């Protein structure tokens, strides 16, 4: 019988997605564009999961946004802030450390 | 504009009511849905928009993702909700019972009003009191949660202490035997004068002497039985039931069908002294009843969890 790991995957994605967003927003992007970019990289994320994360990161000052109303319809673009870069650096460092610990454990 | 999209956004907005930036959130969702519809179907119609909406998720679930971290009551206060409601309801119920038994009303503006009730009103009042109490505690915990500070809410253990061994039972038993003997010998346990020990003066007439003596003997007997039962069972319920029965007996003292004729002694107001004595006993018993009610409440809400 196959074990369902959906809940575990959701938990793991929660942290990973935070770093992923900070990494992706090195260049200016709007939500749908980001979903497509991540999908091309092989990572599928629910749209109703991505937008609340963007909102929380913006509230925490890690990213900033602005509406572009020049096209057919308004689009909200996001980009990382200097504070976001600093957080991303620390988060990546933690992530790498965790990865190392896991590797060591798996070697044993 | 597309009515189905507007309806969908309205639904999300309904669940986002507490969010200060609902307008911004909805604008973004709308922009995304239209963008995705065009990208995937090349044309934006009611049908194609509907398909994209279906994939976006149910309005309540979508809104819930934006509201994560905005708890109404912190999960750390869950136990407090039950415990505090238990304590508050125990006090409320106790006061209601006392007010009902002794036929008076109580006002503690703006939180408490217990009217003078008949039995039916009392039966309907009690569940309503519980709902009121849980609401009051919930409001209090909501305010504490919204403060977002690290608050350590008190966790009362005062009433949850182990019941002690019934050490004073022999003293109470002795008192009971003494009063029983007195009653059997003189037909009363209340005296106005003991100048002649072989023939003391009863405090009131014969029928009142009989009525009040029997009631007070029953009251002391309750104490004796209550303490004696502790040797076999130290349940807090025992105390609660004992105090409840004593309160009922006291109610028969206050609402007595027998009108006592007090003997007249110059310089001493026997009636007022008797009322003061019964009042003190009632207050003490009411307090003990409340304490045992809270104790049982705490036991039910906490120790079993």
| Strands, sheet with A75-80, edge to edge from the N-terminal-most edge strand | A29-30, A75-80, A63-68
**Does the pLDDT of residue B70 top 80, yes or no?**
no
Share of chain A above pLDDT 90, in %: 70
pLDDT class of A1 with cuts at 50, 70, 90 = low
Return the half-sphere exposure (C-beta side, CA atoms, 13 A cut-off) of residue B302.
20
Question: Which residues, 6 or more positions from A49, have their beta carbon under 8 angstroms from its beta carbon?
Answer: A17, B65
Q: Give the pLDDT band of residue A63 (cuts 50, 70, 90).
A: very high
CB of B5 within 8 Å of any CB in chain A?
no
Domains in chain B, number: 3
Whether B162 maps to a domain, the answer reads: no
| List of chain B residues whose C-beta atoms are within 8 Å of the C-beta of residue A75 | 31, 35
| B80 and B61 within one domain | no
pLDDT at residue B282 in the model: 87
Can you read off the two tokens belonging to residue A106?
A: 């798996």
HSE-up (13 A, CA, CB side) for residue A85: 6
- pLDDT, tens digit, for every residue of B142-158? 988 888 767 777 776 65
The CA-to-CA distance between both ends of chain A, in Å, stands at 28
Does one domain contain both B139 and B177?
no
Specify burial of residue B35 (Cβ count, 10 A radius: 0-12, 13-18, 19+): buried
Domain membership flag for residue A82: yes
Rounded (5°) CA angle B241-B245-B249: 170
pLDDT digits (tens, 9 = 90+) for B25-54: 999 999 999 999 999 998 889 999 999 999
More confident residue, B230 or B217: B217
Residue of chain A with shortest Cα separation from B66: A52
The CATH number of residue A41's host domain is 1.10.10.10
Q: Are residues B150 and B176 in the same domain?
A: no
ipTM: 0.86
Neighbours of B287 (CB within 10 A): 12
Residues B216 and B265 in one domain: yes
A51–B25 C-beta distance less than 8 A: yes
Distances (CA, A) of A106 to A15, A99, A102, B2, B267: 22, 10, 6, 54, 96
In this predicted model, what pLDDT tens digit does every residue of B241-251 receive, in sequence order? 998 999 889 88
Q: How far is CA B89 from CA B26, B82, B179, B241, in A?
A: 43, 10, 37, 17
Q: Domain range spanning residue B187?
A: 169-303
Average the pLDDT over B70-89 and give the result. 83
pLDDT average, residue stretch B225-231: 84
- Predicted confidence (pLDDT) at residue B305 exceeds the cutoff of 50: no
Residues of chain B numbered 65-94 and touching chain A (CB < 8 Å): 65-66, 68-69
DSSP string, B5-47: HHHHHHHHHHHTTT-TTHHHHHHHHHHHHHHHHHHHHSS--HH
- Predicted pLDDT of residue B301: 65
Q: Using an 8 Å Cβ cutoff, are A82 and A13 in contact? A: no
Q: Is residue A61's pLDDT more than 50? A: yes
pLDDT value of position A2: 73
| Residue range(s) defining the domain that contains residue A52 | 6-107
pLDDT score recorded for residue B6: 93
SS3 A74: coil
Pick from B28, B68, B69: which is nearest to A31 by CB?
Answer: B28
- Which pLDDT score is estimated for B60? 92
Which residue of B lies nearest to A77 if distances are taken between CA atoms? B28
Q: What is the pLDDT of residues B95-141, one digit of tens each?
A: 888 888 788 888 887 888 888 888 888 888 988 998 999 999 999 99
Q: Choose one of B132, B155, B178: the last residue of a domain.
A: B155
Residue A80 domain flag:
yes
Token pair in block for residue A7: 């809940």
> Which pLDDT value is given to residue B298?
72
């Amino acid at each position: 019988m196959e074990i369902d790991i959906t809940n575990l995957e959701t938990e793991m994605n929660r942290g990973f997605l935070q770093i992923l967003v900070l990494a992706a927003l090195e260049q200016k992007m709007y939500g749908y564009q980001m979903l497509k970019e991540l999908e091309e990289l092989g990572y599928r994320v629910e749209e109703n999961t991505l937008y609340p994360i963007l909102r929380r990161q913006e509230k925490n000052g890690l990213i900033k946004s602005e509406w572009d109303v020049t096209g057919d319809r308004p689009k909200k673009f996001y980009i990382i802030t200097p504070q976001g870069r600093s957080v991303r650096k620390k988060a990546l460092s933690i992530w790498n450390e965790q990865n190392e610990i896991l590797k060591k454990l798996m070697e044993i | 504009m597309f009515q189905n999209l507007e309806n969908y956004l309205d639904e999300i907005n309904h669940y986002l009511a507490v969010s200060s930036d609902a307008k911004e959130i909805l604008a973004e969702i709308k922009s995304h849905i239209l963008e995705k519809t065009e990208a995937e179907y090349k044309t934006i119609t009611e049908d194609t928009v509907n398909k994209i909406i279906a994939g976006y998720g149910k309005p309540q679930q979508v809104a819930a993702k934006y509201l994560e971290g905005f708890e109404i009551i912190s999960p750390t206060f869950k136990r407090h909700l039950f415990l505090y409601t238990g304590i508050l309801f125990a006090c409320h119920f106790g006061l209601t019972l006392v007010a009902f038994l002794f036929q008076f009303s109580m006002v503690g503006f703006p939180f408490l009003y217990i009217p003078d009730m008949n039995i039916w009103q009392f039966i309907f009042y009690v569940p309503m009191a519980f709902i009121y109490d849980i609401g009051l505690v919930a409001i209090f915990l909501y305010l504490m949660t919204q403060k977002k500070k690290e608050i350590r809410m008190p966790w009362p253990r005062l009433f949850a202490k182990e019941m002690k061994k019934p050490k004073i039972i022999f003293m109470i038993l002795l008192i009971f035997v003494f009063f029983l003997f007195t009653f059997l010998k003189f037909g009363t346990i209340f005296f106005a004068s003991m100048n002649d020990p072989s023939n003391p003066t009863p405090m009131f007439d014969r029928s009142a002497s009989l009525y009040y003596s029997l009631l007070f003997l029953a009251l002391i007997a309750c104490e004796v039985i209550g303490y004696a039962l502790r040797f076999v069972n130290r349940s807090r319920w025992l105390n609660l039931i004992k105090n409840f029965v004593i309160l009922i007996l006291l109610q028969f003292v206050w609402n007595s069908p027998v009108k006592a004729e007090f003997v007249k002694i110059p310089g001493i107001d026997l009636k007022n002294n008797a009322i003061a004595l019964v009042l003190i006993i009632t207050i003490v018993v009411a307090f003990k009843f409340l304490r045992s009610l809270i104790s049982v409440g705490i036991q039910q809400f906490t120790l079993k969890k």
